[in-house]
A and B are shown apart, each in its own frame.
Chain A
Amino acid sequence: MKKSLSLILGLSLCALCVGTSFSQAAATQTVNLAVNSVQKIAITGGVITLTISNGTAGNNTLTPVSDATSTYSITHNSATPLRITANLDAALAAGYQLQIALAPGALMGTSAGTVDISNALAASAVAVVTGIPKGADAGRTITYTFNANASAGILTSTAKTVTLTLTN
């Protein structure tokens, strides 16, 4: 009698165990989420036209013109602060000067102020913003200033490509 009761109890427990194991099924999947090194920079504004058409009598330096319609945006996640450099695809002729100034957001780097890039090529790009920490900065103003000397003469419309590079 005791054996029979034990057997019945054992079978009942087994039945409960089986019922439980089938009533709550589970599956697993491994998901690897990796965040790699990211450096992105973009500019808005397209073609910028700078035309000098005024001067002051007696001054060789003609009245400069500026444009502040374009912007830059950056995103990076590097542990080391980065910088932005600027350069032209070809140098300007003597007597003409192109300057650039970038205005970063608060705590998003230090501006080098107005920088002459007239002779800055890829190999000699100049820093315009330094010490940019990881994060993002959007829609920051780029200001171009074009200077010319009267002694340099007339400059027919000349296109130059300005390259901004986010680098370490």
Chain B
Amino acid sequence: MKNHLHIVVNRVWKTAAMAVLLMNGTARAQVYGTGGHTVTMQVSVITSVRVTVGSVNLNISSANVVAGQNQMSVTDQSTSLLWGTNSSLRKVSVSTSLAAPKFTLKLLALNPTVGNAAPQVTLSTSAQDLLLNIGRSSGSCTLLYTGIALASQGTGNDVHVITFTVAAQ
């Protein structure tokens, strides 16, 4: 009887030990839940444009004039236009705020690092192409202004506010 009891106790212990071992193994492999993130990334349309200097002065005086010629002109290429865009098929257009200038003001994009310069434009309040094909790039060009006046027009002063706009081509 005592021997039988010993065998039973022994079996119970062994079973318990097995159960503990099994439980340990089960605990390590148990998946209680899952977690995750949805990451959405976006690059917006980014376009920037600026000029290196905010003001340009063009003065026609006797030094710019050839005797006998009615047309007088002066040029300036001291400033540059810089731009950056991550959109394709973009252009830079230009316009002036001055609706009725007394004299003629022309502009040409000189030596653009990216894109193609449009032919020299006579500035008006209507936007005109200055640069083409500048999509997905950053670049710069020299701004070549030409002021033209006729001697027969007399003296005077025109103040233009020039606006450069990057837009879809």
Contacts and interface: CB of A to CB of B under 8 A. Distances in A.
Contacts of B163: 26-28
Given A29-B53, A29-B55, A19 B159 contact: no
Contacts of A137: 68
Interface residues of A, number: 37
Interface string B19-51: 000000000000000000000000011111111
Nearest to B87: A23
Given A26-B164, A27-B163, A74-B67, A40 B45 contact: no
A38 B58 contact: no
B3 interface: no
B45 A29 contact: no
Given A40-B66, A134-B152, A29 B72 contact: no
B103 interface: yes
A63 B43 CA distance: 93
A25 interface: yes
Given A33-B158, A34-B157, A79-B154, A41 B67 contact: yes
Contacts of A38: 60-62, 65, 72, 151, 155
B151 to A, nearest CB: 4
18 contacts: A24-B167, A25-B48, A29-B161, A29-B164, A31-B145, A31-B160, A32-B56, A33-B58, A33-B159, A34-B156, A35-B102, A36-B155, A77-B151, A77-B155, A78-B155, A79-B154, A133-B152, A136-B67
